[in-house]
Structure 1
Amino acid sequence: MTAYKKILIAVDLSEDSAEVAQKARAIGGDNAAEMHLIHVIEPLSFAYGGDIPMDFSGIQDEIHQQATQQLATFGTAHGISAERQHIVLGRPEVEIHSAAEEIGADLIVVGSHGRYGLALLMGSTANGVLHGATCDVLAVRVGDGD
């Protein structure tokens, strides 16, 4: 097996994100793999389907600013430099695939809550990333699996 050279760590900035980053660092640390972080912000218009006639731009800007600060703090705590931290707006699975291809990642590490039944059918980011990725994907089980 060849060593991974570029690892993209997809985080949602929840408490579980540290576990995902630690697993990625354990895999790539021995071979000094280049680590990248990505956090994807879903536009509020996706959540509300455009049914509410409201301008979300101010709220969206505030969410972006807070996420940028949180990602910077998270990246520093895990030894990932600012130029390897990516924050984007869009659908998580689409943006994660795009970033992985752009940086030439050979592994994507993402958290998974281990959902089943109806929750799995509704879709999950980890499942979306797994299907359609052009490189290896590691889904790290996090949380209590509710």
Structure 2
Amino acid sequence: MGGTYREVLVAIDGSEESRCVLSRAASICEGGGGRLHLLHVIEPLALAYGADVPMDVSDLQASLMQQARENIDTYAAEFAVPANQVHVELGSIEKTIQDKADALGADLIVVGSHTRTGLALLLGSTARGVVPGAHCDVLAVKIARK
């Protein structure tokens, strides 16, 4: 490999930091002619809240998937990413990122890395969770505290 990345998978969560992470990934692709793939993973509500969710959440899950698709499509348009390179998946975040990278033959995964507390700290753990099972390089874009 000549030092350039060919298939770059960038996992975004739709937060305000997504643009920063995407911008970094896009700059990596620009120089070497790599293809940028966008991925937004939605964790199943049963996984997030326990398997014994007391109601049918399929409509809510479908609504969350639709909102995620609209959100990621906005970023895709801004960064000129073709529709066939935009993915919204349902599953465990780290495993889904790893599986999608493998399926695409990605040679780089780009994720955001937060330095905050609370929910942002949980999201920041994605970067640490992806590395051990990844079969390619992982770039954690540092998102500074505001």
| Superposition TM-score, scaled by structure 2 size | 0.90
| Aligned-pair Cα RMSD in Å | 2.1
Give the Cα–Cα distance (whole angstroms) in 1 for the partners of residues 104 and 123 of structure 2: 30
Report how far residue 115 of structure 1 moved: 5.7
**Is the alpha carbon distance of 1:17 and 1:120 closer, same or farther for their aligned partners in structure 2, counting shifts above 3 Å?**
closer
Alignment of 1:133-144 (within 5 A): 133-144=134-145
Structure 2 counterpart of 1:52 = 53
Q: Which runs of 5+ in 2 are unaligned?
A: none
Structure 1: 4+ residue segments shifted above 4 A: 119-123
Give the Cα–Cα distance (whole angstroms) in 2 for the partners of residues 68 and 122 of structure 1: 19
Structure 1 counterpart of 2:84 = 83
Give the Cα–Cα distance (whole angstroms) in 1 for the partners of residues 84 and 115 of structure 2: 31
Contact 1:16 1:143 in 2 (8 A): no
Give the Cα–Cα distance (whole angstroms) in 1 for the partners of residues 136 and 48 of structure 2: 29
Q: Which runs of 5+ in 1 are unaligned?
A: none
Partner SS for 2:41 = strand
Report how far residue 132 of structure 1 moved: 1.0
Structure 2 counterpart of 1:11 = 12
Q: How many residues align?
A: 143
Alignment of 1:1-146 (within 5 A): 2-114=3-115, 124-144=125-145
| Superposition TM-score, scaled by structure 1 size | 0.90
**Is the alpha carbon distance of 1:122 and 1:110 closer, same or farther for their aligned partners in structure 2, counting shifts above 3 Å?**
closer
Q: Aligned partner of 2:39: which letter?
A: I
Partner SS for 1:109 = strand
Identity score, percent: 46
